[in-house]
Chain A
C-alpha cells in the first residue's frame, strides 16, 4: 500500500510532535482535569475525596488571606507589567544606536536577567534591611540636603550668568547648553565645597530607619515589602524584554526614519508614529508575557516573605496561597481549597490576557 504524500507528511508531523503531545496530555491536561475535580472536593492527600460542591470556591472569598493575595497579585501584575514594558522599550531604543562599544553595553544591561531569583532575593534582603544600603543612601541624601540644594542653586546661577553673557554677545544658546554646563558644574561643586569648608552649610544628623521588609505598612495601597519585590523584579526582567524590543527595532526599515528626518519630524513624533506602531507585535508579546509571568509571582514571596522575615500578609500572592495550602507548615494539606485557588488563578490569568487583547495592545493594532 502506498500512502499519499500528504498523509505521510501528516504522520511525520504527528510522530515528531508526539513527545510534546504526550507531555501536554499528562502534565497539563491530566493535571488540569484532576485539579478541577479536586477543587470540588475536600481532598487532603490521605482520605478519599468527598464531593463538597462549590464550597471551596465560596470559602476562598470568605478568607481574608485569599482576598489579600488577590489584591496583591492584581496590583503587582499591573505595576510591574507597566514599568518593565516602558523601561525595556526605552532601554532598547537607547541601545539601538550605532555607537562604539554598544555590544558591551548591551551585555552589561542584559546581565541582571541572568541572576537567579534566589540570589536576587538575597540581594534584595540585604539592600532593604533597616541598616541596609537603601536606608543608608536615603540617610546620606537627606543629611546632605543643604549641600545638594546649594549645589543646585549655584549651578543654576553660574549657568544663568554664562547664558546671559553669551546672549549679550549675541550668541543664541539654550539654557541647558551642555558645553556651558561643563563649566558651571565644576564651579558649582567648588563653590559648594567652599561653603561647606567655611561652615556656611553643614550636614545634618539624619538616620532613615524605614523598616522596608518587616512591615505591613503600605504606599499607594501596596505594602512596602511588595514594593521591594516590584523594584527587584522589574529590574531583573527588563533586560529580557529589552532583547525582544531590540530584535523588533532591527526589523523596522531604516528608510522610514530617513524619510521622517527629511520631513523634519521631531524625535517624539518619530517615536510615537513610527517606532511604537511598528513594534506592536513585540509590544503585544512583551505585555502578554509580562502579565502572565507577574500573575504567577511565587519564588520571591517564598524567599522574602518566608525566610526573609516579611509578614505573609504583606507579600502573599495567589500562587503562594496555592502552595501554602497544599503544604501548610505543620498542618494537614488542604488540596481541595488549593485546587480551587489554582483554578481561580488560571481563570484570572486567562481573563486578564483576554482583556488586555481586547482593550490594550494586540498583534495588529490598538484594539478597542
Chain B
C-alpha cells in the first residue's frame, strides 16, 4: 500500500514539474474575491489544458511601492496590475514588456480605443486594460422628490444643474446640493468640457481662459448656494456625502455602487451623465483604468501572454460584468443585455461604460505624463484656497501657474 502511495506522489510531482507557473499580482481588498473567482471559474480551467498554472499573489498595503520595489529588485511576478495614473513613469523604465508581439491588431482593436490609447507609450502597447471607470452623476431620487425638483438628466448644462442643486439646497435646509472636493480628479472633466487641454504641444500646462471659466464655476458653487465643501460636512469624497444623505448628488464612478450597497442599501438613486458646458455644449470625463501588464524580465513570457489573454477574454469580462463587480474593457460589451437590466446598479454601470465613448464627450485618461501627483497638486491647492475663501481666483490661478511652470520648465 505504501508503495502505491509513493508512486502516486512521485507521479503527481512529475505532473507539477511539467506545468508552467505564471505568477500574477494585483492589489488586495475586493479585488481578491474577484480575481480568485475569475481564476477558479474561467481562467484556470482553460489553462489546465495548456499545462499552465496561475499563482495569484494579491498585495495588501501600498501596491505601487511594492511593485516598484519588486521590479527594481527583480522579484516581480510575471503579470501585474498597472494603474493608468502612474503607468507612464513605469513604462519609461523599460521594466514592462511591450505586448505588440503577443497580440494581433484585431485582438487589440476589440478593446475600447480610449483605454488602449491610455496604455500606449512611445507607440508601443504596454498593457491590456482589464476594466475601467469614468465619472457619472448619481442623484438621490428621494431628496429630489422631497424638494419637488426635477431629477438631473443628460440634457443638463452646468447652469441648469446648478439651478436644480440650489433649489434642493434651499428647500431641504440640512442637505447640500453637491459636496464639492478640492480635487482635480473631480474638477478636471469640467475643464476638459471647455476645450482646455492639460498639456499643450510643448508639453506645458497653460491655465487659460477656458480653464478659468470652469474653475470659476466649480469653485463658486458653494458661494452661490448649490453646494457645500465636503470637509465641512466631515467627508473626504462626494460619495461619502451622498451615502450619508448629506448631499443630493455625487460625482463618482461605478465604485460608488459597492460602497452604497454596504452603507445605504435602501438609498434610491439614479445615474446620469455629467452636465454639459453651456458654451461648448460638450461634456468632459476622465478614464480611470487598470491594465494587466507583463514583466519584461519574466522567464515564461509565452505562458504569461496566454494567461493575460485568458484574464481579459470575452468570457472573463462577461463573468466580471454579470456580477456587477467592475466595468470590463471590451467594445462588444456595450450592447450587453446586462446594461439593459432594470435597477440602479446596471444603470450606473451603463452610464459609466458610456462615459468613455463619444457620449462622454472630451475624455482624457487619468494620467499626467510622468508628473503624477506633483502636477495635480498646484491645481488642487488652488481649488482648496478658492473654495475655502482664502484666495481670490486671480491669485490662486497665478500661484498654480507659477508652480506648474516650475514643474514643466515653462519660462
Contacts and interface: CB of A to CB of B under 8 A. Distances in A.
15 contacts: A45-B72, A46-B95, A64-B406, A130-B232, A131-B234, A211-B390, A216-B390, A311-B384, A312-B377, A328-B373, A330-B373, A331-B89, A331-B370, A332-B92, A332-B370
A329 B368 CA distance: 11
Contacts of B374: 328-331
B371 A330 contact: yes
Contacts of A64: 406
Interface in A189-226: 211, 213-217
Contacts of A327: 62, 64-65, 68
A333 B381 contact: no
B71 A46 contact: yes
Given A327-B62, A332-B92, A217 B390 contact: yes
A224 to B, nearest CB: 11
A332 B384 contact: no
B85 A214 contact: no
Contacts of A329: 85-86, 372-374
B388 to A, nearest CB: 5
B372 A333 contact: no
B69 interface: yes
B93 interface: yes
Interface residues of A, number: 28
A145 to B, nearest CB: 24
Contacts of B94: 46
Interface string A326-343: 011111110000000000
A71 to B, nearest CB: 18
Contact of B388 (A44, A47, A215, A307): A215
Given A309-B231, A327-B62, A327-B65, 7 more contacts: A214-B229, A311-B384, A313-B381, A329-B372, A329-B374, A330-B89, A330-B368
Interface in A294-322: 307, 309, 311-313
Nearest to A130: B232
A193 B65 CA distance: 61
B372 A330 contact: yes
B185 to A, nearest CB: 11
Interface in B166-191: 182
B385 interface: yes
A332 B371 CA distance: 8
Contact of A129 (B62, B65, B231): B231
B193 to A, nearest CB: 23
B225 interface: no
A214 B93 contact: no
Interface of B: 62, 64-65, 68-69, 71-72, 85-86, 89-90, 92-95, 182, 229, 231-234, 236, 367-368, 370-374, 377, 380-381, 384-385, 388, 390, 406
Contacts of B72: 45-46
B236 A307 contact: yes
A228 to B, nearest CB: 13
A5 to B, nearest CB: 47
Interface string A274-307: 0000000000000000000000000000000001
Given A330-B89, A332-B92, A126 B388 contact: no
B80 to A, nearest CB: 15
Interface in A10-48: 44-47
Nearest to A312: B377
B373 to A, nearest CB: 3
A166 B246 CA distance: 60
A64 B15 CA distance: 61
A122 to B, nearest CB: 11
B372 A46 contact: no
Nearest to A131: B232
A328 B376 CA distance: 12
B61 to A, nearest CB: 12
Contacts of A213: 231
A126 B65 contact: no
B388 A331 contact: no
Interface in A168-183: none
Nearest to A211: B388
Contacts of A46: 71-72, 93-95
Contact of B373 (A211, A216, A313, A331): A331
Contacts of B64: 327
Contact of B234 (A45, A129, A307, A330): A129
Contacts of B380: 311
Contacts of A129: 231-232, 234
Contacts of A333: 68
Contacts of A331: 86, 89, 370-374
A284 to B, nearest CB: 38
A311 B400 CA distance: 13
A313 B382 CA distance: 12
Contacts of A132: 234
A46 B74 CA distance: 10
A333 B372 CA distance: 11
Contacts of B65: 327
A126 B233 CA distance: 11
Contact of A126 (B62, B234, B390): B234
A327 B381 CA distance: 20
Contact of B236 (A44, A309, A313, A330): A309
A-B pairs with the 3 shortest C-beta distances? A330-B372, A329-B373, A46-B93
A205 to B, nearest CB: 17
A271 to B, nearest CB: 44
A305 to B, nearest CB: 11
B231 A130 contact: yes
A330 B288 CA distance: 13
B233 to A, nearest CB: 8
Contacts of B231: 129-130, 213-214, 309
Nearest to B403: A64
